[in-house]
Amino acid sequence: MALGNECFGALLGRTVKITLTCGAFQGVLQRVNADRSLVLRAVKNLDTGRSTPGAKMFFGREIVNVELLDEPGSGKGTATLSECASALEGNTEAETGGWACCDPWSSPCISLESQLRAWNSLKSCLSGKEGEENVDYTVVDCFQQKFGSAVLHLKQQSVVSVVAEGVHLCRHGRLAWLQIATKSQIFLFDIFLLGPRAFKNGLQMVLEDRSILKVMHDCRWISDCLSHQYGVHLSNVFDTQVADVLQFSMATGGFLPHCICTLPECLMQHVAVSSRSAALMKGREQMAWDNPDIWFLRPCPPSLLKTLALKAMYLLQLRSSLMDKLMSDLTALVDDYINAFRNKSGDCLGSTKPTCMELPEELLQLTDLQKLRRKKAMEDYKINENGLLIRPAMKLKEKKDMQKDGSHREVGDYLLTNREPCQTTSYYDPDQFCQGKHENQNHDD
């Protein structure tokens, strides 16, 4: 059957054989792009007999002919890629289901040179020993098997984390992966292969559901991408980058930092993440920045998939840690309320009016607490011309190496060098402040 005479929307999901200038392969047709590139699943190298899991892209200039294997012996088994492209151009998006078109959300067609550069970059980044942390995840790259159960699981959650990877994520960029994690599972949705149908078939409902809290880090870019390319409007979002700045302001008595933190930096500061894991995420983040084509490699290397999964998993932990810190003042003041009367003598209660609406002493201490924090912040930080505190640059080094030369100090859960001691982060502990107040009160009593 000549593919040039077929409607490509009907060919998706069927087994084809493609002959290249360097060999022959067969697989299930997953996607046809207008630039004559094809994406196959369950690819088998007919020369070696080896099978490749996942998906693989074949470029138009390498393809000699394409053969539909569903009808052997028909005598019409081959077609040039030019005929394939001609047939594709004659089909509308409705006929192809939105898969074989070149829309703003279509997957980029990676040149062979870019693909090789991405592989070399990845190989260089992963040349060192991998971290010991293991993470289980599920790659969702087709609708028939795992997609439905994954969406059903997500709809039953109250809190999920959402991470996106791609090229220049905004209304003009391209989305490659969408990672969504719950307490028990991590799903890696391959938007490169699933296309916009992934959102129409359930992900949009999850992302727009106001009863499901979405934990994200710097949601501005992905929000713009989802809205303008897929018609998805995020709701009920907990942004950890915003929470980090708010927590910084609380800890410094109202000052704001001069810059925001990336996800790896926030994790090193607020979550018990090993410096090795943080360094790997930071390194691969820089690698993807230098060569964004890496997110469109298929099949995607397991080591890269692990990084995607770790980001989603750690994001849930980051939200819990930030919530605890943001609530620390409230927790301390409530403890003061609990002990306000019961730790004092009964004589003072006789003159206390239960209906008195004056601000209690336990709450007035917030003013003193803010003044102390602000004073300490001015001692520990430099202030730029805009009145913002200059955050120290984080050094992602191994703890053992830094402890050898003694040129470090631990601050929370991350390490900083002592080259600029005036910029070292120092958070005032409200529990110690309140405890000191109580000791003085008890001593007076």
pLDDT at 281 over 80: no
CA distances from 25 to 5, 18, 36, 41, 57 (A): 22, 5, 16, 11, 11
Amino acid 2 reads: A
48 with 85, same domain?
A: yes
pLDDT tens digits, one per residue of 290-323: 777 788 888 888 888 988 999 999 999 999 999 9
260 with 286, same domain?
A: yes
76 with 158, same domain?
A: no
Q: How far apart are alpha carbons 215 and 238 in whole angstroms? A: 5
Q: How many folded domains does the chain comprise?
A: 3
Does 107 fall in a domain?
no
Give me the pLDDT at residue 234, please.
97
304 with 339, same domain?
A: no
Report the interhelical angle of 275-290 vs 112-125 (nearest 10°).
160
Domain that holds residue 204: 117-324
Does 415 fall in a domain?
yes
**Angle, CA 236 vertex, CA 171 and CA 174 arms, to 5°:** 20
pLDDT at 373 over 50: yes
Does 302 fall in a domain?
yes
Q: How far apart are alpha carbons 82 and 10 in whole angstroms? A: 18
- Return the higher-pLDDT residue of 432 and 61: 61
313 with 335, same domain?
A: no
Q: How far apart are alpha carbons 212 and 14 in whole angstroms? A: 37
pLDDT tens digits, one per residue of 229-280: 999 999 999 999 999 999 999 999 999 999 999 898 899 889 988 777 777 7
In this structure, the number of other CB atoms found within 10 A of the CB of residue 277 comes to 20
Give me the pLDDT at residue 227, please.
96
Q: How confident is the model at residue 3 (pLDDT cuts 50, 70, 90)?
A: very low
| 330-333: Cβ within 8 A, 24+ apart | 332/430, 332/431, 332/434, 333/362, 333/363, 333/366, 333/434
CATH number of the domain bearing residue 277 = 3.30.420.10
Q: State which of 264-273, 325-334, 417-426 shows the largest mean pLDDT.
A: 325-334
189 with 67, same domain?
A: no
| Domain edge (last residue) among 101, 133, 159 | 101
Q: How confident is the model at residue 382 (pLDDT cuts 50, 70, 90)?
A: very high
pLDDT at 142 over 60: yes
Evaluate whether 394 touches 414 at the Cβ level (below 8 Å): yes
Average pLDDT over residues 142-155: 93
Instruction: Starting at the earlier edge strand, list the strands of the sheet with 186-190.
Output: 138-140, 186-190, 174-181, 159-167, 213-216, 237-239
Choice among 29-43, 235-249, 389-403 with the minimum mean pLDDT: 389-403
Q: Provide the 3-class DSSP secondary structure of residue 155.
A: helix
Choice among 128-132, 298-302, 351-355 with the minimum mean pLDDT: 128-132
Evaluate whether 36 touches 111 at the Cβ level (below 8 Å): no
268 with 130, same domain?
A: yes
Q: How far apart are alpha carbons 124 and 281 in whole angstroms? A: 14
CATH number of the domain bearing residue 26 = 2.30.30.100
Nearest residue to 219 (alpha-carbon basis) of 238, 202, 204: 238
Nearest residue to 84 (alpha-carbon basis) of 119, 128, 34, 45: 34
pTM: predicted TM-score of the whole model, two decimal places: 0.67
Q: How far apart are alpha carbons 169 and 101 in whole angstroms? A: 20
- Return the higher-pLDDT residue of 153 and 3: 153
pLDDT tens digits, one per residue of 166-215: 988 899 888 999 999 999 999 999 999 899 999 999 999 999 999 999 99
Give percent above pLDDT 70 in the chain. 67
Give me the pLDDT at residue 348, please.
64
Does 193 fall in a domain?
yes
Does 111 fall in a domain?
no
Give percent above pLDDT 90 in the chain. 38
Choice among 16-20, 267-271, 330-334, 440-444 with the minimum mean pLDDT: 440-444
178 with 60, same domain?
A: no
Does 93 fall in a domain?
yes
271 with 222, same domain?
A: yes
**Cα 155 to the center of its chain, rounded Å:** 19
Evaluate whether 34 touches 108 at the Cβ level (below 8 Å): no
Helices (H), 5-99: 8-11, 81-89, 93-96
| Domain edge (last residue) among 42, 73, 101 | 101
| Domain edge (last residue) among 101, 131, 149 | 101
Does 353 fall in a domain?
no
pLDDT tens digits, one per residue of 95-112: 333 333 333 333 344 444
> Environment class of residue 222 by beta-carbon count within 10 Å: exposed (0-12), middle (13-18) or buried (19+)?
buried
Residue 63, sorted as left (phi over 0), alpha (psi -120 to 50) or beta, turns out to be beta
224 with 242, same domain?
A: yes
95 with 135, same domain?
A: no
Q: How confident is the model at residue 28 (pLDDT cuts 50, 70, 90)?
A: confident
- Return the higher-pLDDT residue of 242 and 285: 242
92 with 137, same domain?
A: no
Does 112 fall in a domain?
no
